[in-house]
Amino acid sequence: MTSPEMHPQRWGDPARATALPDAAAGLIELAFGGLDDRPAVSSVELPPVGLDADQLATVRRIVGDEHVLTGDEDRRLRTRGKSTPDLLRARAGDLTDAPDAVVRPATHDEVADLLRFCQEHEVALVPFGGGTSVTGGLVARREGYAGVLSLDLVRMKRLVDVDPVSMTATLEPGLRGPEAEALLAEHGVTIGHFPQSFEFASIGGFAATRSSGQSSAGYGRFDALVVRLTVATPQGTLQVGSAPANAAGPDLRQLMLGSEGAFGVITAVTVRVRRVPAEKVYEGWRWPSFLDGAAAMRTLAQAGLLPTVIRLSDESETAINLARPDEIGAEGAAGCLMITGFEGEPEAVAAKRAAVTAVLTGLGGTPAGEEVGQAWAHGRFNAPYLRDSLLDVGVLVETLETATFWSNLQALYDGVKTALETTLGDPTMVLCHISHVYETGCSLYFTVATKEGEQPVEQWLAAKAAASDAMMAAGATITHHHAVGTDHKQWFATEIGPVGVNILRAVKAELDPTGILNPGVLIP
Amino acid sequence: MTSPEMHPQRWGDPARATALPDAAAGLIELAFGGLDDRPAVSSVELPPVGLDADQLATVRRIVGDEHVLTGDEDRRLRTRGKSTPDLLRARAGDLTDAPDAVVRPATHDEVADLLRFCQEHEVALVPFGGGTSVTGGLVARREGYAGVLSLDLVRMKRLVDVDPVSMTATLEPGLRGPEAEALLAEHGVTIGHFPQSFEFASIGGFAATRSSGQSSAGYGRFDALVVRLTVATPQGTLQVGSAPANAAGPDLRQLMLGSEGAFGVITAVTVRVRRVPAEKVYEGWRWPSFLDGAAAMRTLAQAGLLPTVIRLSDESETAINLARPDEIGAEGAAGCLMITGFEGEPEAVAAKRAAVTAVLTGLGGTPAGEEVGQAWAHGRFNAPYLRDSLLDVGVLVETLETATFWSNLQALYDGVKTALETTLGDPTMVLCHISHVYETGCSLYFTVATKEGEQPVEQWLAAKAAASDAMMAAGATITHHHAVGTDHKQWFATEIGPVGVNILRAVKAELDPTGILNPGVLIP
C-alpha cells in the first residue's frame, strides 16, 4: 500500500485541508475578528549541500547511488518536523535546518556502516521515520559538524515475523502506522497503536519517542507494547528484551524507548500484538462538568474497567465540538463530552460495555449515543489537517500535553490554562481533553488558538514556555506522549534533575562518544 | 508489629522448620536412600573488624552510637543471603563474607552522609533490606576496599503518605512485606505484592531486584507498581517518576529498578495501591499434562482474563504435592495441578471466576475444588522453611527460575530440566511450575532436590551453571524475579551483550565513580 505524502509546509495533502467547515469559519470570525490570508511563501531557498563529493561518494557506496538524495525537494521534506513553529518557519521559506543529504539504508548493517562513516567524518545523523515530531526532534544542531545527514528509514519496511503463539510481531522501523497495520492484518493481528500522527508516523518513531495512541486504555502505550528492540549504536549492536518480563538488571528496553535517536538507531522492534477486533463500538457520554467526567474515568481505571478508548473534553472543547471536527463551531452542548470505545470479540465488548455503562450511569453520566462516538472515530486523525487550514487564515493553533496523578489534576489544569491565557491575551481559546487514563492518573491535552501576530513563532514560544513552567510548578511531566526533542529540553532537565541529566549524558558518551547522533536532541 | 527473625544459618525460625512431614521423610528415604544428619556447625568465627576506630567514630557521628553494630551476631546476621550455597557456607561456619560493621541510618540524609564517608574512606557499602537475596546480591567484593559496611535499612520503616485519590502510597525501603501491608491496611489499601520471601523481604529490596509476587497476574510485578523512586547516590539525589506515564525521555525508573544497590540506595518508593480485597477465593484445577495447562494459561492471558493468582505445577511437582507443603510425599494425583486465585469485590470476583471457569472447562480442565486452593494459600510462604529441614537431613535442595515467550516454552523447559538431571545424576528430582503469566509468555520455576555430596556447594554450582547455559541456549532470561547478584553475572553479560554491559558500566561510573556501592554485584 502507498502511504499518503507529507507536505513540506503542511501536515499532509493540501486537498485534505482546504475544507475549513463553514461553522468553523464563522467561529473564527466571531472569536478573532475576521480571517486573514496567510499563504505560505512559494519560493524557498536551501542552503548549499555541506558535504563534499568524496563524502557523498562514500555514503553512496554504502547504500547505493539512488539512495543518497541531495535534491531540493528531498531535503526540504526532511527539514524539521510538524510543530506549529516548524510549520510557521517552513511557510515563511526558512529552510536553514535542511539536511545536506537524505540517505536511505535498507538494512541494519547499512545503518551500522553509516554510523561509522558519520563518526569518521564528524557528520551529524538524524533518524527520520514519519517526520511527525512536534517537539523539534528532527532539528539537530549543525554547529561543530561537517554536515547533517537525514537517515530516512523508508526502505526498512519489512514485517520480519509474526509469532501467533506468543502474539508478538517484529517490524522494521520505517513502516508507517497504516503500512504496519496492513501487513499485520494479513495475519489477523493488530498493534492497536493509533496516535493522531498514525497516517505518517513510523514504528521506529513510536519506540524512540514513547508514543501513546488513542486506544492506549485498551492496548497500552507503545512503550508497554515493546518486548524486544534491536538498536544500532556507534559502539555496536544492542539487543534487549529476552523475555516478557525479567529481573535481569535494569530494563534497558526502557532506556532505549524514548532515546529519540540520540543513543542509536532502532532497526527492529518486536511488539505484543492482539487479534484484530471483530467488533468496534464508540459512543458518547455527557457529564455536567470536566471534573465529574474525570472522576468517572478514575473510577473506571481503578476498578479495572477501562474501555479500549476513553476521552473527555472539557467545557470549552465540548462547546466548539473539537471532538467532532466536521462540526466544529456548530452549536455545542453544555457540559462535557466523553467518548468511549470498545474493541474485541462481541461477547467481551458487550460485557465490558455493560459494566462501563452501569458505572457511568451510576456516577451521573448521560448516554449520548453511538452517532457522536462514530463521528469522533471518523475524524480522529483530522485535527492536524485542520491546523493547516487555520494557519492559512491567520489563526495560530498548536497543542501541548502533560500528565499527572489524579489528586493533582485540577491544579495542573488550572495552572496550564491560566499560563496560556495570560501569556497570549484575549482573544485566546484554550481547550483541553483527557485522552490517556491510568489507575493513578491521566494525561491532559491542550489545544490553543489565538490570532496570529507579527512574530507568531515568538508569540507561541512565550506561551509554550509559560505553560511548561506551569507544568513544572505543578510537579507534572513536560510531556505525556510528544517526547523531549529540542523544545522540551530545558524543562526535561528540571523534571529529571541534575543526577538524571548526568545519567543520560553518561549513556550518550558511552554509546555515541563523538556525538553524531541527533546532536542537540533529548540530552540537556 | 514485630517481624519474624531471620536465622544466620537458616531461612528463619528453626521452630518453623523442624516438622518435616512424615510423608516427605518417607519420600526422601525412597528417593535418596536414607536420611543423613547434617547439622550446622555451632562454633563459628568471624574475621576481625577491618575498619579502624577513627572510621567507626565517624560513622557513629552520622547515625548515632547505638546504630553502628560490630557484634558477632549482628555481623553474622547480615552475612550473605539465603541461597542454598549461602546457607551451606553458613552451616559450615564460613563467615569470610561478614561485613565489618552494620550501620543503621534513619533518614535519606544519613544515607547520603554514609555514602560520602564510604567514598572518602574507600569503604564498600552493601544495602541490606530483608537479607533474602538468593543470587549473592549481598556478597560484595572486599578486595580493594578498606572494609565493608552493611547498610541495614531497618530504621527506615515509615509509611510516608497515602494518596487515596491517586491510589498511591510512599514507603520507606526498610519496611518488610508484612509491616508495609499492615500499615497500608490501616488505610484500607494493599500493594498486593506477595513473593515467597514476603515475610522478610523489604520494600527497597523489592524495587532494587525487580521482584515479582505470587499475585503478579492480578496486581502486577513490583516494577510495574512503582510510580516514583528516590535514590541516594554518591553523586546526589535522584528522584524519578513525575507522572503515571510519560514520554520525557528514557524511563529512568526502570534503570533504577533492578539496580541492586550498585547505582544508589533507594530511600523512598511510591507504589500504586489497590483497595484491600473484600473476598479471596483460591481453587484447584487438574490438567492432563503440563502443556495442556500452560496452553490454558496462555488462552486466559491473551483473552485478558487472568485471575489474581495463577500457577501450574508440572507432572513431577504435582506428583509430590509441592504446591501443598503439608502433604508433600503423600500420594499425589496424575496430571498437573493448577491453582487459581481471585481477589477483589465479591461481584468482580464472581464475574471473573465465572469467565475463567468457562474458559478452563472448555479447554479440558477439571475443577479440583477450593480445598486444594486454600491449602496452597495456607502454605505459600513455607517452602524456604522446608529447605532448612531438608538440608538438615542431607538433601540438597535449591530453586532457579527463568522466563520466555510462549512459543519457546517447551524448548526452555526441556533444556533446563535435562541440564539439571544430567549434571546432578541419579537420584535427582527436578520439579517445575509456572507462576507468572503474561500475554506473550511466562516464567518457569524449577525446584531441584538431590542427595548432598561431599562438596555440596560445588555440586550445586555445576548444576546451576549447566541450567544457566541452557537458559542462554534457549534465548531465555537468566532470571525472571531473583535478580542478578553475583551468581548470575556471567550469564547476564551474555543476555544483554557487550553494548548492554557497557551501558551499565557507564551509569555505574557516573553515579558511583569510586565503586563503593555493592562492588561486584550486578555489573559484569
Phi, psi of B355 (to 5 degrees): -65, -40
Q: Which chain A residue has the Cα nearest residue B412?
A: A243
**Residue B57 has which C-alpha cell?**
567514630
CB contact under 8 A, B246 and A403: yes
Instruction: Please state, rounded to an integer, the average pLDDT across all residues of chain B.
Output: 94
Q: Is the CB of residue A266 less than 8 Å from the CB of residue A256?
A: yes
The partner residue sitting opposite B479, judged by closest CB among A236, A248, A256, is A248
Q: Is the pLDDT of residue B208 over 50?
A: yes
State how far the alpha carbon of A65 is from the alpha carbons of A102, A153, A170, A173, in Å. 12, 16, 29, 22
Query: Which residue spans within B246-353 are E strands per DSSP?
Result: 265-272, 274-275, 279-287, 309-313, 336-344
CB-based contact B511:A499 (threshold 8 Å): yes
What pLDDT is recorded for position B24?
77
**B504: closest CA of chain A, how far (Å):** 8
Among B138, B42, B120, B38, smallest CA distance to B81 is for B138
Beta carbons within 8 Å of A513's beta carbon, 6+ residues apart: A234, A235
Q: How far apart are CA A333 and CA A248, in angstroms?
A: 53
SS3 of A471-488: HHHCCCCCCCCCCCCCCC
- Closest C-alpha among B349, B384, B478 to residue B195: B384
Give strand pairing partners of A5: none
Tell me the C-alpha distance between B486 and B461, whole Å: 13
Strand order in the sheet with A279-287: A366-369, A279-287, A336-344, A309-313, A428-434, A441-451, A395-405
Q: Quick one: pLDDT at residue A383?
A: 87
* Identity of the residue in A246, A255, A304 whose CB atom sits nearest the CB atom of B477: A246
Neighbouring C-alpha atoms within 13 Å toward the C-beta of A472: 16
pLDDT single digits (tens) B90-100? 999 999 999 99
Q: Which three cell numbers stand for residue A101?
A: 543529504
Q: Quick check: B477 and A406 CB within 8 A? A: no
Taking the C-alpha atoms of residue B50 and residue B73, their distance in angstroms, rounded to an integer, is 16
- Pairs of CB atoms within 8 A across A/B: 273
User: What distances in angstroms separate CA B141 from CA A248, B16, B138, one per listed residue?
Assistant: 20, 33, 9
The closest alpha carbon to B222, from B25, B421, B480, belongs to: B480
**Which neighbouring-strand residues pair with B10?**
B7
Cβ–Cβ gap B500/A167 under 8 Å: no
Residue B261 to chain A, least CA–CA distance (Å):
11
| A409-424 vs A456-473: helix crossing angle, rounded to 10 | 150
Closest CA to A223 of A246, A201, A190, A255: A255
Burial of B37 per CB tally in 10 Å (0-12, 13-18, 19+) = exposed
What whole-number distance in Å separates Cα of residue A278 and Cα of residue B101?
Answer: 64
Our CA angle for B138, B139, B143, nearest 5°, is 135
Q: How many CA atoms lie less than 13 Å away from A48 in the CB half-sphere?
A: 5
As a whole number, mean pLDDT of residues B174-191 equals 98
How would DSSP label each residue in B376-402? HHHTTT-HHHHHHHHHHTTEEEEEEEE
Residue B473 reports pLDDT greater than 90 = yes
Peptide bond into B427 cis (omega under 30): yes
Cβ-based neighbours of B236, under 8 Å, separated by 6 or more: A498, A499
Of B410, B440, B484, which to mutate for an interface test with A (greatest number of A Cβ within 10 Å)?
A: B440
Provide the grid cell at B9: 544459618
Please give the backbone phi and psi of residue A224, each rounded to the nearest 5 degrees, phi first.
-85, -15
| Strand, coil or helix: A247 | coil
The three grid cell numbers given for residue B349, joined into one nine-digit string: 470476583
- Residue B451 contacts by C-beta under 8 Å, 6 or more apart in sequence? B32, B33, B394, B395, B396, B427
Question: What are the strands, taking DSSP E only, across A234-302?
Answer: 236-240, 265-272, 274-275, 279-287
| Region B131-153 average pLDDT | 96
Distance from the Cα of residue B417 to its chain's centroid: 21
Q: Is the pLDDT of residue B489 over 70?
A: yes
> B475 to chain A: which residues are within 8 Å by CB?
242
Per-residue confidence (pLDDT) for residue B244, from 0 to 100: 97
What torsion do the CA atoms of A314, A318, A324, A326 make, to the nearest 10 degrees? -140
DSSP state of B407: G
Measured in degrees and rounded to the nearest 5, phi and psi for residue A132 equal -100, 10
Whose grid coordinates read 503469566? B437
Q: Are A244 and B506 within 8 A, CB to CB?
A: no
Quote the pLDDT of residue A1. 39
CB contact under 8 A, B238 and A500: yes
- Option in B235, B242, B348 nearest A502 (CB): B235
A281 is written with which cell numbers?
A: 463500538
- CA separation (Å) from B178 to A457, B194, B268? 56, 9, 17
Q: Is-cis flag, bond preceding A427, omega within 30?
A: yes
ipTM computed for the complex: 0.96
Report the gap between the CA of A510 and the closest CA in chain B (Å): 6
Contact in structure between A127 and A265 (CB atoms under 8 Å): yes
CA distance B479 to B491: 10
pLDDT exceeds cutoff 80 at B18: no
Q: Are A341 and A282 in contact (CB under 8 A)?
A: yes
Contact residues, chain B, for A260 at CB < 8 Å:
249
- pLDDT tens, residue by residue, B45-69: 899 999 999 999 999 999 999 999 9
Q: Evaluate whether B285 touches B365 at the Cβ level (below 8 Å).
A: yes
* Residue A476, C-alpha cell as written in the block: 507534572
Contact check, Cβ <8 Å, B249/A258: yes
Residue with grid cell 505525556, as numbered in its chain: A480
pLDDT in tens, chain A (524 residues): 345 678 999 998 887 765 677 777 788 888 888 778 888 998 888 999 999 999 999 999 999 999 999 999 999 999 999 999 999 999 999 999 999 999 999 999 999 999 999 999 999 999 999 999 999 999 999 999 999 999 999 999 999 999 999 999 999 999 999 999 999 999 999 999 999 999 999 999 999 999 999 999 999 999 999 999 999 999 999 999 999 999 999 999 999 999 999 999 999 999 999 999 999 999 999 999 999 999 999 999 999 999 999 999 999 999 987 656 666 656 666 899 999 999 999 999 999 999 999 999 999 999 999 999 999 999 888 888 889 989 999 999 999 999 999 999 999 999 999 999 999 999 999 999 999 999 999 999 999 999 999 999 999 999 999 999 999 999 999 999 999 999 999 999 999 999 999 999 999 999 999 999 999 999 99
* pLDDT at B115 exceeding the cut of 90: yes
B292: left (phi over 0), alpha (psi -120 to 50) or beta: alpha
Residue type, B281: V
- pLDDT band for B4, please (50, 70, 90 cuts): low
Percent of chain B with pLDDT over 90: 87
3 state DSSP class of A31? helix
Q: Read off the DSSP letter of residue A366.
A: E
CB pair distance less than 8 Å for B254 and A254 = yes
Q: How far apart are CA B341 and CA B331, in angstroms?
A: 24
d(CA A412, CA A195): 23
Mutate to test the interface with A, among B161, B227, B246 (most CBs of A within 10 A): B246
Mean pLDDT of B292-298: 98
How far off is chain A from B150, nearest CA to CA, in Å?
21
pTM comes to: 0.97
Place of cell 536553514: A96
Chain A: give the shortest CA distance to residue B20, in Å.
32
d(CA B191, CA B179): 12
Q: Minimal CA–CA distance to A98: which of A141, A47, A56?
A: A47
Using CB atoms, which residue from A221, A480, A503 is nearest to B507? A503
